Structure 1
Amino acid sequence: THVTKKLDLDVDILFLDTTSTYFEIKGEDDHEGGLRKRGHSKDNHPELAQVVAFAVTKGGIPIRAWVWPGNTSDHEIAQQVKHDLSQWNLGHLVMVQDAGFNSARNRQILLQGGGDYIIGEKLRAGSKGEAVEALHRAGRYKTIEREGKVLLCKDVLIDEGSATQRRYVIVQNPEAAQRDKETRSQIVEEARRRLAALAQLSGEPHRKAACRLRSHGIYGRYIGQRKDGTLFIDEEKMKRESLLDGKFLISTSLMHCSTEEIVYGYKQLWEIERVFRDVKHVVDIRPVYHHLDDRIRAHVLICFIAMVLVRVAERTLSMSWRDIAYTLTDIRVGHTKGPDGELWLMSPLSEMQRNLFSTLKVKHPPKIWDF
C-alpha cells in the first residue's frame, strides 16, 4: 500500500498472473507447508520444484508479490489474492486474468465484495459450452482502432436478464487471422508431403512412421485415421479451426463498460508478461538455492522490490531499463596508491548521466569515493 500511495498508482484495475521459477534441487520438500513442491512448470522444468505470482497495475508497476508451493491450485491462489487485496480498501477492484484462471469457482471468488473481472476464455475447435455458443452467436462486428492497430469486436450476452447472465466479447485481429491462415497452410502442406512419403514404405517401417506422424504435436493435428488404419488430411478440422483464425474471447462481469475498454483492458495483460520476463532475465530471480521458507520469500521479495524500482525508473525517465543501464555503464572508480594512502576517484559524469540522476532524485556519486 505504501508503494501505491507514494507513486499515486491507479489500482482500480489490477492484472494478475502466475509464473514459476525452479529450485536447484532434485527432490521437493517432504514436510507439510513447504514451498518447494513440483507443479506445472512454465520454464519447462516439471522435474524440479516450483514456486510465484504478481499483481500489476495497468501502468506496468508491480504492487504485490506472492509465493506459493508449485502444486497450489488456481482457486486457492485466487482466494488468497482476493482476500489480501481486500484489506487495502481499494474500492471497486477489477481483476484481469488470462484463460488459465478461468473457472466458475474462480469467477465467483473475483465477484466477492463487489469486485469484477475481465478474463480470457479458452478456444478450441470442437469444444462445447457457453464460450462456444457466444463465439457462434450471430451479430455484427464493429471496428475499433488504437495506435494504428485495427480490431473487430462483437458483444454477446448469454442468459440475458437472468442471474447467470454473462457478457462475452469476441475479438478478431485481421493481421493475426492472416498469420494463422498462412501457418496452417504451411503445416498442412508439410503433412501432405509426409503422408505421400508413407506410401513408399510397407510393413513394420510403415506402421512406425504412421504412428509417429499421427501422434506428431504439429502435423498430427490435421491428420485423421479411418477404421482400416489409413491416414488422411482432416478437412473438417481445418474448416473448424479456420473459424478461430485471429480470434480471442473475453468474458466479463462489467455490463456497463464499453467494448473498447474491455478489449484493451484485457490486452494490457502483456504488461504482467513483461514483468515475468524481466524478473527472470533482468533481475535474474534464478538460480534459487534456498532451503528455508523465510529465505525463499525474502529472495522473491527482493526481486519484487527490484522490479518496482526498474519500472519506476523506466516510467520516470521514459527510457527502457536497457538504455538506462547502458547510459550508466561507463561510470568507473579509479584507484591510486601513494605514500599518503589510497584514493578512489569517480570518473566525471556526462551531462546525460547527471540528468538521469537528477530526474530520479538520486544523489550524484561523490567525486572522491573513498580515501
Structure 2
Amino acid sequence: MALPCLPSVASGHGLPCRSRERGEKAEIRLPTSAQLGETIANTDKLSATKRAKLRGRLSTKPGLNRFLRVTPKGLLRIDKAAIKAEERLDGKFLLRCSDPHLSAEDIATGYKQLLEVERGWRDMKTIIDLRPVYHRKEDRIRAHIQLCWLALLLIRITETTCEDTWTNLREELERIHVGTFTGPAGTFRQRTETSPAQRTILAKLGVTEPKRIITLEPGTTV
C-alpha cells in the first residue's frame, strides 16, 4: 500500500497522507448510490406516510442512509453534496507523530509496519487459531513462539507467491478430499481430481500434486 505523504504539514504535527489503495475503494460508492437511486425512484408519487416508512427503513442501512437527503416537503433525494464531500477525502487520512525529527516517509512507513504487525496478530488468533499455551520451561516457550512465527511466515510467503489471500487459497485447497472405497477386490484410498485453480496454486508454490491413489489393499480371498 503506497503511502505518499503530502508535504504541506511539517513532521511532528498532523500529517495528511494519500493512499492509492484506499482511493480505489471509492468505486464502492458508485453501486451504492445507484442502488439508492433505484430505491427512491418514483417515491414522489407515494403518500407522505409511505415515504416516511421507506425513510425509516433506509435509516437502518448506513451505506444507503449517508447519501440520502430529505427535502423540506418530505421528498427523498440523493445527497450529491455528501457524495462530493466523500470524494474529496478519497484515499486521504491523517497521521500523528510525537517526534518532530522524523521525516514524512519514516512516519508513513512506521504506521504501515504497525498495520502489518496488527494484521499478523489477528491472523495468528483467527487463521492459525492460536490459543494460550502455558509453558514452564524457557526452551518450550521459545519453541512455541518460533512455531507460530514460522506458520505466519509460511502464510505470507504463500500469499506473496500466489498473489492472493490465505483465506481464498485455503478455501480452494480444502476442496481436495480423500475418499476410502471398499469392494470385493479390496480397499483403496483415492483423492479427488484437482481443479485448474488448485493445480495453478500448487504449481506456483512448487508443490507436487498428491498421488491419486494413496493406498491400495487387496481383499482377502476365502
Would the TM-score normalized by the shorter structure come out above 0.5? yes
The answer on whether the counterparts of 2:70 and 2:77 sit within 8 Å (CA) in structure 1 is yes
Match of 1:183 among 22, 28, 32: 28
Q: How many residues align?
A: 153
| Contact 2:6-2:17 at 8 Å conserved across structures | yes
Q: Is the 8 A contact 1:155 1:168 kept in 2?
A: no
More helix by share: 2
Distance 1:320 1:178, change over 3 A: closer
Q: Shift in Å at residue 207 of structure 1?
A: 2.6
* Aligned counterpart for 2:93 among listed residues 216, 237, 248: 248
1:242 positional shift: 0.8
Of 101, 108, 122, the residue aligned with 1:276 is: 122
* Distance verdict in 2 for CA 1:281–1:225, change over 3 Å: same
Deviation track 1:243-280 (CA, whole Å, cap 9, x = no partner) reads: 11012210001111221111011011222222123213
- 8 Å Cα contact 2:9-2:16 kept in structure 1: no
Superposition map of 1:49-68 within 5 A: none
* Partner of residue 308, structure 1: 145
1:319 aligns with 2:164: no
Which structure has more strand as a fraction of its residues? 1
Is the Cα–Cα contact under 8 Å of residues 223 and 231 in structure 1 kept in the other structure? yes
Distance 1:307 1:283 in 2: 14
5 Å-filtered alignment, 1:137-152, equals 150-152=2-4
In the superposition, relative to structure 1, how do residues 305 and 201 fare at CA in structure 2: closer, same or farther (>3 Å)?
Answer: farther
Percent identity over the alignment is 24
Q: For the structure 1 residues 224 and 206, does the alpha-carbon distance in structure 2 shift closer, same or farther, using more than 3 Å as the test?
A: closer
TM-score (norm 1): 0.36
SS of 1:256 mapped into structure 2: coil
- 1:188, CA displacement in angstroms? 0.9
Is this contact kept in 2: 1:170–1:247, CA < 8 A? yes
Q: Secondary structure at the match of 1:319?
A: helix
Q: Could you tell me how far 1:152 is from its partner in structure 2? A: 2.8
Structure 1 letter corresponding to 2:69: G
* 1:36-58 deviation digits (Å, cap 9, x = unpaired): xxxxxxxxxxxxxxxxxxxxxxx
Per the alignment, residue 18 of structure 2 pairs with 172
- Segments of structure 2 that go 5 or more residues without pairing to the other structure are 136-140, 159-222
- Pair 204,262 (structure 1): closer, same or farther in 2 beyond 3 Å: same
RMSD: 3.4
